Structure 1
């Protein structure tokens, strides 16, 4: 006791030291396990280390980010083509977002990003083989000789465009990468496994009138369409195609000019800006990271989380190190300030939250309705031709993320998946004819001649037909049907496999008359108008 009394101060010091050590250790563990939302609170200019390498593997926090990259090996068949029995496939309309591309703005250290090599690293031998075979095919096609006249007819307004992106690995501003080509080679391959035989691909029955292909005038959409067609069609059918150009990313054709659409776009942008400013931590995060990522200072980019997300995908999707700049000096030694992975996950957590707010925006819905009207008219026109002439059987629109956003929002299908579609997203409208007459007789008799035709909407393999606002309830037909389906197989193997698992699942079909009625009678109800011209007139 006497000894303890004499050394009481020493004991207190030791106990206090141990307590501080445990407290610091506990805080370190807590901070290390923060989720991506908490990361928004840590946006100071601490000097980080280069924690992001080419061998970085996605964990549970970053898996959603990597979905936007859509690696070729993860593209598999989903619920496409599951209708059988008395319903006969008559044609499909395929809407594509272009594949993986370079950034849209100048970003730092772009020369260190390999936009080709990671195709062979992530996609493996098969992706390399598919890409090389495609490249060899195009090289032969471009040589002077018997294909010259076909190539001129095939390319049409895209004559002079490079057929394939350079395989050097250089990331070019806004241009398709070899990974983007491989994505659409895989997409074309799996969809051919589902639809090829039903549409007559490769059996000599398809004519030039059976195939219609549209692309916007961008290299990335043109090259995406080209790679998709190569994989989907036989070489004989491929030579029957003539590409057609769309002047607008909305594929609005003759219904593009619309002043009211711009009014609603500005209102929606104001809503997004208000959301952004209401999150000070996010504002600071975007400003801090944008200063590192973008080469040239731009106040617009420094306050745009969507543009920053797009720029960061250049590094994330290609396994590159996150960018750095020269920062503060510590003890007179210059140090690098780098983008940290927790900043990336924090930014993406916010943009995911922002996209979930889209469903609440009437301004976005009206904007998309006006932008999608021309495309909707074209879709219905093609459906009516399929009904009356049994052609075309394949219609392809090679466009952009906003192309898919406009269309799905106009149809009332608004979700994170459809409003922010990843690279090489696909939307398929399947058109079927019901050949069972006693079922047809039960349908309403006041509809158009299309009453025995139906369609489905499948987005990235997921059946969203019953989410279309005019297809819900009594207007849709619910089928319970046994089908073969195995998501672990490749399309080729799935087509020929005798051991595919059977399961029962609901399949929704929507009458074609419903989309016709929506376009002609109900499309402009939210504008208190009856036609496109009146809806586009600006009203206060």
Structure 2
């Protein structure tokens, strides 16, 4: 009997210890993952397993990218050209420390792996097609390789742009009979935009693309000014407008609840980590870059000395940033800055649209791609006086579609449609006053051209040089 009691005691003791260990392990799993070193590998969490926080819309994972209103001709119209402006795909943070102290940029393996992709067949084709890396005029490889540096496009960013290209092929491929000869590509001089344009072109043209003969024009101006000298793009008056806009908007700080909540919580986080104070700025745009880009790449939270910045804090910052830019959309100084900053892009766009409408045979490219940035899309919307309620997500796309009336149409008006991430925004354009706009068909091209012609007079100049004087 004594032996039986001892055996029961041992069994109960072992069970108790097992329960304690299990509870401890579950507690560990519930805690934020603290990277042991900057050597974390790329391992994107599929959207279905990811959190439903507000920042997910900004991440814009490839699974969530869909086609919308693109490529839908109004009755009596035929599509004749498309211009698209894209933001690059998912990337690593641009800043390594300020304003969030000594948080390191994570070390991410940028080698493409088909197992990470939801479009594995295309991803695998892209990997094979770019394996030999043909020589180009650019100093970057066609796709990310090795370990990512700060600002680099990630494998997730490549996947986003391949998906974009695939969807645009579905929308426009047959209507415009797209091939490599009638597509023009322009990119800013960053690896993340160049590689985004390459991935999008692969999605658009598929396995038949010839990367060796694919020409990508460059511009070192994020506002897509492609003048021969920097001086021709420089506009002192634009800088004055921007400074005044920032002063106007700084007053919002007192009333921005999200900003104060984030600001207070981030300081408490730093005090807990005992790493000193944090730089205060408004809005927390640099902090957003560091936090959101790391979150979107799913490489773990920012942690220091056992203290991590939480997803809830990221959402607060995201809400504050969006509130700031919603107010910026209403600010006259911000609009003045945007019209001057984006003037050269609009000039180039209007010239192309006009030639397509009047001399279509003289233009070979019916589809143009501009690979740029969030800081390109924002002033574009400001200049057009379009609302932009959220900061542009990764792999955002803005489409300018030009339609001509068919032979049996009862009008001679060429139509323009502007579509943003699948949503038709044309009816929100305040300057589209020609009668046809009320049919919901689009904006008369001449209304768009007239708006462009009045862009400089609206900021006090009859040409770019005089408008930029201070």
* Aligned position for 1:13: none
Q: Which stretches of structure 1, 4 residues or longer, exceed 6 Å deviation after superposition?
A: 52-56, 114-119, 290-293, 295-298
Give, in whole Å, the separation in 1 of the partners of 2:245 and 2:462.
Answer: 23
Is 1:476 the counterpart of 2:437? The answer is: yes
Is 1:374 the counterpart of 2:347? The answer is: no
- Aligned to 1:476, the other structure's residue is in SS state helix
**Cα shift at 1:344:** 2.1
Q: 1:149-178 CA distances to partner (integer Å, 9 max, x unpaired)?
A: xx5xxx43x2x3121112x5x442001111
Instruction: State how 1:2-401 maps to structure 2 within 5 Å.
Output: 50-51=31-32, 57=49, 62=53, 64-83=54-73, 85-106=75-96, 108=103, 110-111=105-106, 120-121=115-116, 123-124=117-118, 126=119, 128-142=120-134, 151=135, 155-156=136-137, 158=138, 160-166=139-145, 168=146, 170-202=147-179, 207=181, 210-233=182-205, 238=210, 241-254=214-227, 255-276=232-253, 279=256, 280-287=260-267, 299=279, 304-326=283-305, 336-387=306-357, 388-390=359-361, 391=363, 392-401=365-374
* Aligned position for 1:435: 406
Q: 1:59-95 CA distances to partner (integer Å, 9 max, x unpaired)?
A: 55x1x21011010111110110111542111110011
- Contact kept in structure 2, 1:50 and 1:338, CA below 8 Å: no
- Contact kept in structure 2, 1:376 and 1:519, CA below 8 Å: yes
Give, in whole Å, the separation in 2 of the partners of 1:297 and 1:217.
Answer: 35
- Contact kept in structure 2, 1:324 and 1:338, CA below 8 Å: yes
Is 1:408 the counterpart of 2:381? The answer is: yes
Q: Bigger radius of gyration, 1 or 2?
A: 1
Q: 1:10-69 CA distances to partner (integer Å, 9 max, x unpaired)?
A: xxxxxxxxxxxxxxxxxxxxxxxxxxxxxxxxxxxxxxx834698795555x1x210110
**Cα shift at 1:404:** 1.2
Q: 1:380-431 CA distances to partner (integer Å, 9 max, x unpaired)?
A: 11112212134320111010111111222211112224xx110000011111
**Cα shift at 1:290:** 7.5
**Cα shift at 1:515:** 1.5
Is 1:465 the counterpart of 2:435? The answer is: no
Q: 1:230-249 CA distances to partner (integer Å, 9 max, x unpaired)?
A: 11125556566421111201
Give, in whole Å, the separation in 2 of the partners of 1:463 and 1:348.
Answer: 25
Q: Identify the range of structure 1 (274-283 vs 400-409) with the bigger mean alpha-carbon deviation.
A: 274-283
Q: 1:276-310 CA distances to partner (integer Å, 9 max, x unpaired)?
A: 355544443455567899x998747x665111111
- Contact kept in structure 2, 1:290 and 1:308, CA below 8 Å: no
- Aligned to 2:151, the other structure's residue is in SS state coil
Give, in whole Å, the separation in 2 of the partners of 1:185 and 1:291.
Answer: 43
- Contact kept in structure 1, 2:85 and 2:397, CA below 8 Å: yes
Give, in whole Å, the separation in 2 of the partners of 1:297 and 1:406.
Answer: 33
**Cα shift at 1:352:** 2.4
Q: 1:337-393 CA distances to partner (integer Å, 9 max, x unpaired)?
A: 221333222222222222221222111111111011000000011112212134320
- Contact kept in structure 1, 2:294 and 2:300, CA below 8 Å: yes
Q: 1:125-144 CA distances to partner (integer Å, 9 max, x unpaired)?
A: x3x443232121012452xx
Consecutive unaligned residues in structure 1, runs of 5 or more: 1-48, 143-150, 327-335, 441-450, 479-506
Q: 1:432-458 CA distances to partner (integer Å, 9 max, x unpaired)?
A: 110145512xxxxxxxxxx53211101
- Aligned to 1:416, the other structure's residue is in SS state coil
- Aligned to 1:529, the other structure's residue is in SS state coil
- Contact kept in structure 2, 1:188 and 1:228, CA below 8 Å: yes
Give, in whole Å, the separation in 2 of the partners of 1:119 and 1:411.
Answer: 40
- Contact kept in structure 1, 2:245 and 2:333, CA below 8 Å: yes
- Contact kept in structure 2, 1:286 and 1:308, CA below 8 Å: no
- Contact kept in structure 1, 2:92 and 2:293, CA below 8 Å: yes
**Cα shift at 1:105:** 0.6
* Aligned position for 1:452: 413
TM-score (norm 2): 0.79
**Cα shift at 1:512:** 1.2
Give, in whole Å, the separation in 2 of the partners of 1:465 and 1:225.
Answer: 25
Give, in whole Å, the separation in 2 of the partners of 1:197 and 1:363.
Answer: 43
Give the alignment partner of residue 451 of structure 2, picking from 509, 513, 518.
518
- Contact kept in structure 1, 2:77 and 2:409, CA below 8 Å: no
How many residues end up aligned between the 2 structures? 413
Give, in whole Å, the separation in 2 of the partners of 1:241 and 1:452.
Answer: 35
- Contact kept in structure 2, 1:212 and 1:395, CA below 8 Å: yes
For the aligned residues, what is the CA RMSD?
3.0
TM-score (norm 1): 0.70
